[in-house]
Amino acid sequence: MGSTERIKNVARRVAKWHDAGHQIVVVPSAMSGETNRLLGLAKELSDQPDPRELDMIASTGEQVSVGLLAIALQAIGKQAVSYAGWQVAINTDDSHTKARIGSIDEAKVKRDLDAGKIVIITGFQGVNDKGDITTLGRGGSDTSAVAVAAALHAKECLIFTDVDGVYTTDPRVVSDARKLNTVTFEEMLEMASLGSKVLQIRSVEFAGNYKMPTRVLSSLTDPLLPLEIEANSGTLISFEEDTNMEQATITGIAFNRDEAKITVFGVPDRPGIAYKILGPVAEANIEVDMIIQNQSVEGKTDFTFTVPRNEYTQAMQVLSNGVKEAIQATGIIGDNKVSKVSVIGVGMRSHVGIASHMFQTLAEEGINIQMISTSEIKISVLIDEKYMELAVRALHKAFGLENS
């Protein structure tokens, strides 16, 4: 949606699918750079704009996109109608700029589809119980698309983006990264949560919760590419594990530069202390990721956790303004120059030695591990930011991910 010419291409692609007999709902994002421009205007007026008003401003970008796409489709002979999120309605909670979808009233959309129309709905936004426009956070159009697909019981949700699928890692960091034909929801959820920017994590959560097959494919291909080719391109995210899944021990390497580490020293080691530290952080709507509590020594322990880098200053302020004194901690320090690197794969369930191989690889490169977290299908480590790309390249090679 970067220009009117690109919008014409989107219209041609949508018309192609409609001509093949499919009922089509399109959920576009704003035109390229528009959301940043709108929010930048608000920041010129206030250092801390009201979140409700930010949502009013940011939501207009998508409203322009849906109107333009409807006009482009009508210009090539298609019946098309556009709706804002509140008109559908896409109902959300009250968390302005970070709202979550609660329900979607799909009746109006189904009537239009049954009448042969192409329906275009604004991504990224909804409406709360008060009638206020809300937005879902950056990248929220992906979430909107999957949620609408789930509400309509669609056959598949196609996410057209500026990459042609999901790769074993970011090709900008590892030149021989390989595109995956399929990936499970579990793996994609881990990859999204651990730094992969292909899809917003909430869109993957929605897809997994509602068992909605989702395909990531390129918006930069010829819009008139034959349907039988396009329908099988990109990367399919589904519950269907490949028959060779057990052989694919590791699916990908994810990384996240947006990390900061905070350590609270000399904390009394007693029940409830973790809540007293993290409770105020959560109340400030700051997400906490990796957590470590050290062994108690003489009744004292240290508590370390990570937060998004852009929320680091706020988290330090929350802890310094009352929490430190309330829990009788001896000190608080932080580091906002760290990154997280993760290996991911459902094959971990049936293979041993993944962690040791990962740690050996990092050791051979002289990379120190600051924190470790694991789940059934991933291992994450926190390292100094300056070693992140080296770690990704070394691990990608160590696990043979360049091989098809």
Residue type, 57: I
Could you tell me which residues come within 8 angstroms of residue 43 by beta carbon, excluding any fewer than 6 positions away? 49
Q: State yes or no: cis peptide before 89, omega within 30 of 0.
A: yes
Per-residue pLDDT at 191: 86
Q: Is 358 helix (H, G, I), strand (E, B) or coil?
A: helix
Per-residue pLDDT at 246: 47
CATH of domain 4-242: 3.40.1160.10
State both tokens at 366.
């002289």
In the chain the first and final C-alpha atoms are separated, in Å, by 33
Chain-centroid distance of CA 85 in Å reads 20
Residue 278 has pLDDT above 60, yes or no: yes
Tell me 225's DSSP state.
S
Q: Give yes or no for a contact between 195 and 255, defined as CB atoms under 8 angstroms apart.
A: yes
The tens digit of pLDDT for each residue in 2-20 reads 899 999 999 999 999 999 9
Q: What is the mean pLDDT of residues 309-331?
A: 92
Q: Rounded to the nearest 10 degrees, what angle do helices 185-193 and 201-209 cross at?
A: 160
pLDDT band at 297 (very low <50, low <70, confident <90, very high): confident
The tens digit of pLDDT for each residue in 187-209 reads 998 888 776 678 888 889 889 89
- pTM, two decimal places: 0.81
Per-residue pLDDT at 241: 54
Position of tokens 């009508």? 74
Per-residue pLDDT at 281: 94
Q: d(Cα 83, Cα 57) in Å, to the nearest integer?
A: 17
Note the residue count of the chain: 404
State the DSSP H helix or E strand holding residue 264, giving kind and residue range, or none if neither: strand 252-268
Q: What is the mean pLDDT of residues 87-111?
A: 95
Residue 244 has pLDDT above 50, yes or no: no
State both tokens at 295.
């062994």
Count the Cβ atoms, other than its own, within 10 Å of residue 17.
17
Pinpoint the residues of the chain covered by CATH 3.30.2130.10.
Answer: 252-398
CATH architecture of 252-398: 2-Layer Sandwich (3.30)
pLDDT band at 296 (very low <50, low <70, confident <90, very high): confident
Pinpoint the residues of the chain covered by CATH 3.40.1160.10.
Answer: 4-242
Q: What is the mean pLDDT of residues 51-59?
A: 96
Q: Give yes or no for a contact between 235 and 215, defined as CB atoms under 8 angstroms apart.
A: yes
Higher per-residue confidence, 122 vs 163? 122
Computed over every residue of the chain, the mean pLDDT equals 92
**Beta strand 182-184 with 235-238: parallel, antiparallel or unpaired?**
parallel
Q: What is the mean pLDDT of residues 344-348?
A: 89
